A and B are shown apart, each in its own frame.
Chain A
Amino acid sequence: DTEVTQTPKHLVMGMTNKKSLKCEQHMGHRAMYWYKQKAKKPPELMFVYSYEKLSINESVPSRFSPECPNSSLLNLHLHALQPEDSALYLCASSYYRESNQPQHFGDGTRLSIL
């Protein structure tokens, strides 16, 4: 059982829709991450938040907009996505940035863009 909870598990949206992905953890972790995973490929880092502030943006297009309202929650706002954005979006957390402690992942949101 994962201690990082992601909702929804599945999402289908049109290219003009606006939707949000949600991630929650109650382990007291202060670093949170968004990854994107295409089919049959390994996960790739998108964003890193540390103490609720954006620390890393891996040159992600602006149609993806992350938000960290508090230390337990991480959102990913989606707008005007393209079909190639269809993927599994994974959230992870760790005690703090640049720690050697492992990142813990949720089970992801499977996103399909029509």
Chain B
Amino acid sequence: DAKTTQPPSMDCAEGRAANLPCNHSTISGNEYVYWYRQIHSQGPQYIIHGLKNNETNEMASLIITEDRKSSTLILPHATLRDTAVYYCIVRVYNTDKLIFGTGTRLQVFP
């Protein structure tokens, strides 16, 4: 199973872009990268996912390197409400398993 590696914590000033990195060097060609976040006392919230192309939605952008060994989640204008644990997950091919890593705790400060 492809594993992910994320920094345990990051800080970001409110209004600035938050760039959260993720390494997944053992990813297979048909495995997707998913990002979720979990705010304290809530369930994980889906943010975005992608295979090889960069993706953007109303919440964030996902940049995947050409070799697919790493990706970056970008929150373009972080707010205090974006303070959460962010999980980068590689979806095991053709299964239901979302194997959550330890995540990055993002702290947005005023």
Contact B101 A42 (CB under 8 A): yes
Some 10 contacts from A to B, beta carbons below 8 A apart, are A43-B100, A45-B96, A97-B96, A100-B49, A102-B34, A103-B98, A104-B46, A105-B44, A107-B42, A108-B42
Residues in B lying within 8 Å of A, measured CB to CB: 32, 34, 36, 41-46, 49, 51, 87, 91, 94-98, 100-103
Excluding A98-B94, A100-B32, A102-B49, 17 further A-B contacts by CB distance (< 8 Å) are: A42-B87, A42-B100, A43-B98, A45-B97, A45-B98, A90-B43, A97-B96, A98-B95, A100-B91, A102-B34, A103-B96, A103-B98, A105-B36, A105-B44, A106-B43, A107-B41, A107-B43
Interface residues of chain B: helix, strand, loop or mixed (majority): loop
Within the complex, the shortest CB–CB distance from B52 to chain A, in Å, comes to: 13
Contacts of A56 in B (CB 8 A): 96
Residues in A lying within 8 Å of B, measured CB to CB: 2, 4, 6, 31, 33, 42-45, 48, 55-56, 90, 92, 94, 97-98, 100, 102-108
Complex Cα gap A103–B35 (Å) = 11
Complex Cα gap A56–B94 (Å) = 13
Contact B43 A2 (CB under 8 A): yes
Contacts of A97 in B (CB 8 A): 96
For residue B46, which residue of chain A has the nearest CB? A102
B32, B44, B101, B102: which has the most chain A beta carbons within 10 Å? B44
Within the complex, the shortest CB–CB distance from B26 to chain A, in Å, comes to: 18
For residue B100, which residue of chain A has the nearest CB? A42
Complex Cα gap A43–B96 (Å) = 14
For residue B51, which residue of chain A has the nearest CB? A100
